[in-house]
Amino acid sequence: MHDRWLSSHWLRTAALAAGLCLPLLAAAFAIAGPLGLAAAAALAAGCALTIFLFSERTVLTALRARAVGEVERPDLYGMVRELSTSARLPVPRVYISPARQPNVLAVGRSCRRVSLCCTEGLLRSLTTAELRAVLAHELAHVSRREIVVSSWAAGFAAVLSLARLRPLAALALRVTAPTSREYGADASGALMTGDPMALASALRKIDVCAASLPLPPSGSLAASGHLMIAHPFPDDGYGRLFLTHPPTRERVRRLEALAGYPR
């Protein structure tokens, strides 16, 4: 089931990229023939590669994140290492953002090159079990091989947002980051820790705090929201335009069902 979903995810992204490139390629062919077409194709491929290479840095810069090591945060680093080992993943680099809103994301060019970023608000708001649960959720995105497409989409949407094409950036994220991916990461992360209710509790806390401490949906930050565990922007205006997460209530309901919680 997941392999079919992953194939669909890649196909949707490829279709979006092709749809946006076709007008450029057609115009180049009409103006300069095969030579113009080749030049335009090379330009498009170069832009796609540049976006891919710099997407991780773009996201971390938007969050003003800084790298932390094991000496500075042994508790956090130890938890990330233990979960990564359990999931048979390389240990990601750990970053902390000064944002007061509790949130967390994973971004990277491959499963072997991942950065895990927690906000200060997250580290202050959650219990140890809840923090472990949300870290497992993010590592589940990595183990499910969703990280490459999601990270490229962040870089691509950042370019569109900076060009003041926010509706097009939002459309790109809705195509490349369907809400169903969060349900899958919730379930996989909960199975990784064996504690679905800890993730459910964390999602409730994050949802309430994110509503009272929303992040501004502007520039590169607007393009990073789909990578976070919960919608970080206001629920109106441009914030709603970048909504890529399913309702928290439904996510909690599914986690309760996974835990066998009585209804």
Known catalytic residues? Answer: 138
Task: Give the angle 49-55-59 at the CA atoms, nearest 5°.
Answer: 170
Least Cα distance to 154 among 248, 57, 24 occurs for 57
d(CA 129, CA 120): 17
Identify any residues that bridge with 114 across adjacent strands, giving them in sequence order: 108
3 state SS of 87: coil
Token pair in block for residue 52: 């891919």
Cβ atoms 199, 255 nearer than 8 A: yes
For residue 122, which phi and psi values (nearest 5 degrees)? -65, -45
- Radius of gyration in angstroms for the set of CA atoms belonging to the chain, rounded to a whole number: 19
3 state SS of 67: strand
